[in-house]
Structure 1
Amino acid sequence: QNKGYKIYLILDEYDNFANNILVDYGNERYHSITHGNGFFRGFLKIVKDYSNSVIERIFLTGVSPVTMDDLTSGFNIADNYSSNSAFNNMIGFNEHEIRTLIDYYKNCTELPHSTDELIETMKPWYDNYCFSTEALKEPSMYNSDMVLYFMNRYLLNKRIPNNMLDANIRTDYNKLRHLIHVDKTFGENASVVQEIVEKGVTTGIIVDSFSAEDIIKVENFKSLLYYYGMLTINGTRGPMNILSIPNQTVREQLYGYMIDIYQQATKLSLNVDKLNFLMYDMAYEGNWEPYFNYIANQLDNQSSIREFIEGEAHIKAFILAYLGLNSYYIARPEYESNKGYADIFLQPRLLQLPDMTYSYCIEVKYAKRDADDTEIERLTADAKRQLKQYAASEWILQDKGITELKSIVLVFKGWKLVKVEEA
């Protein structure tokens, strides 16, 4: 102030340490720093007081609006620009920018893939973000961190990375699980995740702020998933937003999160390593029965899981979660194509594993626990008829590549798998 200088104050990840306190030490400790005479609240109050003299501008960034809501009365001079359409194009790369990036490197060194091939590889994993309803008609945004992760590894080895996910971007499941209070009753927010995994979409109003105490409310939880990057704006439904899974990177995180929920809520523990070994036989030997029989046997031996997977939607979400965590296939659910294809298409990862032999269409049918044999046979026949149509579709024929396509019928009677057949 004596020198006549002004301060531009930047607080990056302003919410990070406060949210960690909330997770690690609970609401009481968190409340002590953000309310009353708490030091974080006091610090921002001083910042506010000096904004009329020394501090010219303040810029805060963070993941969630939880902390800011608790500090509002002490720091009520801020505007939230997170969903302002003017900044939509800043938060990521659009396709034109990625083409410019790839072409730059192609001018510097010889690359084995074309620009179109690299974009086609990245698109289903990193694309499809929108941060404002007013920007829905603008080009979708790619996750810039993931694009740079991909390019770093691609340029180093001159080949597509085996792992398309940067470990540094994975959501902290322990923190998220704590924040939504997933418990042994398989709470309402866990059911929201299950719905999103099965359908790929939900609706809600994105809330600009909410207190730590209100974070477990469903409407706030959906907003939290949006702020964590697990959902993106895909359209509107009246005053509500249509929120969808943006890409395969997020979908695989949600699969892992669902498995965490099953394990915590029911103590069901399927050995993922064993499933990967069994899936090798599916991918290279066409031996698919042991994989599904293993899942069926584990379900049969775990009575605690049964009440949580009753119903067709829950069955599909359960199967998707475990099929989705493998190194051989991209588990593509029906809603992704929006063209009435099979419940699950296991698309071979031929860029990483060009010698794979088999791909799979899977149709899941569900019958109530009191269904008779006639109903089971009817569902099986319906599934086989549908699978024959799916197998002939242009979309499937293209994405299966050189592999042989197998069509599998799974019929559940309540929680019990009673039919596992090839169509």
Structure 2
Amino acid sequence: MIRFPYGNSDFHSIRTKNMLYLDRTHLISALEQAGQQLLFLRPRRFGKSLLLSTLVNYYDIKLAEEFDSLFGDLAIGKNPTEERNQYLILRWDFSKVSAQGSLEDIKNSLFNHLNAHVEGFIQKYQELLRFPVHIRDEDALASFQSLTNAIQGSGQQLYLLIDAYDNFANEVLVSDPHNSRRYQALLEGEGILKSLFKIIKASASEGKLTRVFITGVSPVVMSDMTSGYNVAKNIYLNPRFNALCGLTQAELESSVTQVLEDCQQTEGYATILETLRLFYNGYRFCTDIKQPCVYNPTLVFYFLQHYQEFCSAPEQLLDSNLSMDANKIRYIADLPGGQSLIAHILDEQQALGVTSLEDRFGVESLRDIPRDQRFMGSLLYYFGVLTITGRSAIGELELNAPNLVIRGLYLEELKRKLLPNTQDSDTMQAAAKAFYQYADLQPLVEFIETRYFAALDNRDYRWSNELTVKTAFLTLLFNDTYYIMDSESALKRRYCDLVMIVRPNMRQYALLDFILEFKYLTLKELQLTAEQVRTHSREVTQQLPAVQAALANATQQLQEYRTILVNKYQEPQRLRCIAVVALGFERLVWEEVRVFDS
């Protein structure tokens, strides 16, 4: 059986315990050639810590005798570089630095972390150091300088690796987006984080520090340090390193095959691959759209480990370890124009277009020009909740949500903004359940008319069309425990507005499949006022010629879509086709389309 390293980012442990390791060591030589001080960005839980651990084990002078056992059967083991096992290693992990409390509290947490690792370094390499290292509890920056002096004086080379360099600074920023004073105090002037990186920069220029490798999520913190550390080479958009972290299609297929063999299942391969593609794939980390997308490894291991144990898919497709990504979306949503941006992202037919990804911007940029799509879209890209899907006719990069898990996070945030009241949430969930089981749209429609539409802020919505209506239904009905929900699904080069297909592992329950087609009529088209629409009964408005024409148009489209889906899933009795017409934002009328079974 495959031993999936879910939650394990320790290279030595993974290799010695015969766990699955995705070999990226062929890129170590390319990393050496890329530069002496490198900055590599990827979203949370994408394998950055394991990458650093791999480098630690490859370069650590104390692990030379274990090289063959750790790397012998890997790509780099067959063709090692001259720098293998040539360094003393110092590694910091800023995700362990607390962002809570005052600036003094944060500084103390950082100093404690730095000093603890300096102490560990001394214990590990003391026989290689000819000079003492002085640790100062009140000034960890001085401790680090004493360490680099001792290393240089001992004729040794130091490799510094910093994991999650921006973690605690980002937490400070995101925790209070309307007051960035604490954040700026860390990074401006003689701020403690800026001071630390100034010393790192100086140590490298003085030859006390040979190599530096830094990982993080976004370039915001690095940009805000300006001259504090402006010597790192950014490699995070380099096509060569697109798959340095992540899971490739070939690796995924091999793992799925093995898991099915472990479960002694001869069917289900294509279904599992399609589920994983829809929910976990879609990440491209360079502007070369010819580079294939990669999968989120943490989510894939979460899924496959569960499948291996129970021979069925997990009910919850969003691993709780990734739920922190919702905070990043919330940060953007709370900025001016953020809600409108999220609504745009949920429109698959109109990708978010940017001329290029911004890679040098700070918090001031976000505050001063928050409505700039390039800045906002770039930040969401670095957070891993947007990805590059193509280029427009004029060469702009097209950004979209990478998969259904991330789309669900956007929808949850939109729901939170529009319906903060707990009672509304309970009412909405009851209406959604009635629809899932019985195709009863009445409770949901009444909720949308009276609560959802009333919550819309015209300043935040550029659309007054069927997209707004579709987004309402998608937001309120999205449930990845029950459904694969795809908006604008491709069906033989045609597109239907919303498809809800019961997940394979849930098809044993009394849940229905749905296709919904939406049409929008303005009050001007209807030659009616909002008051007139509200006073007419639903039955009367449904008989209006314009409404009948819209329903007929939707019915024709649904007939075509239904044939395709019935042929695919072979369950015509489960599938419901519903046409929905919006009369402005005042009234919804609908009709279940009875078409032939095939």
TM-score, normalised on structure 1? Answer: 0.88
Q: Does the CA contact (< 8 Å) of 2:259 and 2:307 recur in 1?
A: no
- Is 2:577 aligned against 1:414? no
Q: Does the CA contact (< 8 Å) of 2:280 and 2:405 recur in 1?
A: yes
Q: Does the CA contact (< 8 Å) of 2:489 and 2:499 recur in 1?
A: no
Q: Does the CA contact (< 8 Å) of 1:363 and 1:383 recur in 2?
A: yes
Counterparts of 1:257 and 1:347, CA distance in 2: 23
Residue 167 of structure 2: aligned partner: 16
Residue 42 of structure 1: aligned partner: 195
Please give the root-mean-square deviation of Cα atoms over the aligned residues, in Å: 2.6
Which runs of structure 2 are paired with 1:9-408 in the superposition (5 Å)? 9-24=160-175, 26-52=179-205, 53-105=207-259, 110-111=264-265, 113=267, 115-134=269-288, 136-179=289-332, 181-182=334-335, 187-199=336-348, 201-204=351-354, 205-215=356-366, 216=370, 217-237=372-392, 238-263=394-419, 271-299=424-452, 302=454, 304-305=455-456, 307=458, 308=461, 310-325=464-479, 327-334=481-488, 339-370=493-524, 371-372=526-527, 373-392=544-563, 394-395=564-565, 397-399=567-569, 401=571, 403-408=573-578
Task: Name structure 2 gaps, 5 residues minimum.
Answer: 1-150, 528-543, 594-598
Deviation readout 1:85-137 (Å, 9 max, x if unpaired):
00112221111111233344556664575544432331111112211122x33
Residue 92 of structure 2: aligned partner: none
SS in 1 for 2:353: strand
Deviates more, 1:337-346 or 1:52-61: 337-346
Counterparts of 1:209 and 1:395, CA distance in 2: 46
In structure 2, relative to structure 1, the CA distance for the partners of 1:315 and 1:107 (3 Å cut) is closer
Deviation readout 1:260-298 (Å, 9 max, x if unpaired):
2323xxx57674444444444433334343333333343
Deviation readout 1:173-221 (Å, 9 max, x if unpaired):
3444335543xxxx42321210110236211121112110112233111
Q: Does the CA contact (< 8 Å) of 1:380 and 1:419 recur in 2?
A: no
Residue 108 of structure 2: aligned partner: none
SS in 1 for 2:575: strand
In structure 2, relative to structure 1, the CA distance for the partners of 1:346 and 1:163 (3 Å cut) is same
Counterparts of 2:228 and 2:457, CA distance in 1: 49
Counterparts of 2:223 and 2:457, CA distance in 1: 40
In structure 2, relative to structure 1, the CA distance for the partners of 1:107 and 1:360 (3 Å cut) is closer
SS in 2 for 1:221: helix
Counterparts of 2:283 and 2:492, CA distance in 1: 18
**Which amino acid is 1:77 matched to?**
V
Give the drift of 1:29. 1.4
Give the drift of 1:68. 0.5
In structure 2, relative to structure 1, the CA distance for the partners of 1:338 and 1:231 (3 Å cut) is farther
**Which amino acid is 1:248 matched to?**
L
Counterparts of 2:253 and 2:474, CA distance in 1: 33
Q: Does the CA contact (< 8 Å) of 2:316 and 2:480 recur in 1?
A: no
* Percent of residue pairs bearing the same amino acid type: 26
SS in 2 for 1:334: strand
Deviation readout 1:46-100 (Å, 9 max, x if unpaired):
0011113221111111111110001131111101111100011222111111123
**Higher-Rg member (1/2):** 2
Q: Does the CA contact (< 8 Å) of 2:333 and 2:342 recur in 1?
A: no
Residue 25 of structure 2: aligned partner: none
**How many pairs does the alignment contain?**
412
Counterparts of 1:234 and 1:169, CA distance in 2: 22
Counterparts of 1:419 and 1:107, CA distance in 2: 50
SS in 1 for 2:347: helix
In structure 2, relative to structure 1, the CA distance for the partners of 1:177 and 1:107 (3 Å cut) is closer
Residue 30 of structure 2: aligned partner: none
In structure 2, relative to structure 1, the CA distance for the partners of 1:147 and 1:401 (3 Å cut) is farther
In structure 2, relative to structure 1, the CA distance for the partners of 1:270 and 1:362 (3 Å cut) is farther
Give the drift of 1:320. 1.6
Deviation readout 1:139-184 (Å, 9 max, x if unpaired):
32111111111012111212111111111112443444335543xx
Task: Name structure 1 gaps, 5 residues minimum.
Answer: none
Give the drift of 1:401. 4.4
Q: Does the CA contact (< 8 Å) of 2:432 and 2:476 recur in 1?
A: no
Give the drift of 1:335. 5.3
Deviates more, 1:275-284 or 1:157-166: 275-284
SS in 2 for 1:149: helix
